[in-house]
Amino acid sequence: MNIIRKLLDLSPIGIQIYTRKFLNREKKIDYQKRFVDFKIKEDEKVLDIGSGGEPFFLATHVADKYPGDTHHRYNKLNTENLPFTEADIQDLPFENGSFDFVYTAHVLEHVEDPAKAMDELMRVGKRGYIEVPTRMSDIIFNFARLKHFHKWYINKVGNTLIFIEYNKNDLRDTGDKEFFHMGHSYIPNAFRKTYRKNKDLYTNMFMWEKEFNYFVFNKNGEITHKRNK
């Protein structure tokens, strides 16, 4: 079996088998448990904003802007029978400090005004977790070329998130779909192993408590919003 697997890894036919068939995305819960200790207590109120089809496994409440189909996610909304609120992360219908922990994953790269969204996170939550793709992920998996998809690429430095609006020159990718298919293949292969082992290179995993800093740059390199306390 190992000999056959090695031959498949090295052969063009093997690449097609691994990459064109049996696609399977690793769920957020699986890799987050490898990298993140959320430190959430059983009695805490936890909000997942942009819960989509994979609500946060420790959520007590979920919210999403799109109860129906949307090109912003590949799956259908699944609330798992938790209290659900239709809401925009840029204007949340919750009181100040309503939640002990606010979780949002793969949402902020899509929004029109990330500064307003981040202010809302800090307003309704006492602490939380933000997850967004790195630019390397956008490029190598060809997300950058998708129209009306990711508006921003994001870097993190300490307690600060840096949002940079994509301009026309940045919206490019490798032009090779094999990385996406191999990275998300159901069948194990060398690239998928490396990708999952180093998920933090492809995904910014950002924990915050009470507050955090941010800078927002438009496509011309000008700072449009900042919070630096």
pLDDT averaged over 10-residue windows placed end to end, the chain, 229 residues: 47 50 77 95 97 92 82 70 96 98 97 98 98 94 84 96 93 83 85 93 97 97 95
The structural domain count of the chain equals: 1
Q: 20: domain range?
A: 2-227
**Cross-strand bridge partners of residue 223:** 217
Query: How confident is the model at residue 205, as a pLDDT?
Result: 97
Query: How confident is the model at residue 127, as a pLDDT?
Result: 98
pTM score: 0.87
Query: How confident is the model at residue 179, as a pLDDT?
Result: 87
Torsion of CA 167, 122, 137, 183, to 10 degrees: -150
Query: How confident is the model at residue 78, as a pLDDT?
Result: 81
CATH code of residue 57: 3.40.50
Contact (CB, 8 A) for 102 and 125? yes
Query: How confident is the model at residue 117, as a pLDDT?
Result: 98
Query: How confident is the model at residue 168, as a pLDDT?
Result: 86
Query: How confident is the model at residue 52, as a pLDDT?
Result: 84
User: How far apart (Å, rounded) are the C-alpha atoms in residues 20 and 192?
Assistant: 14
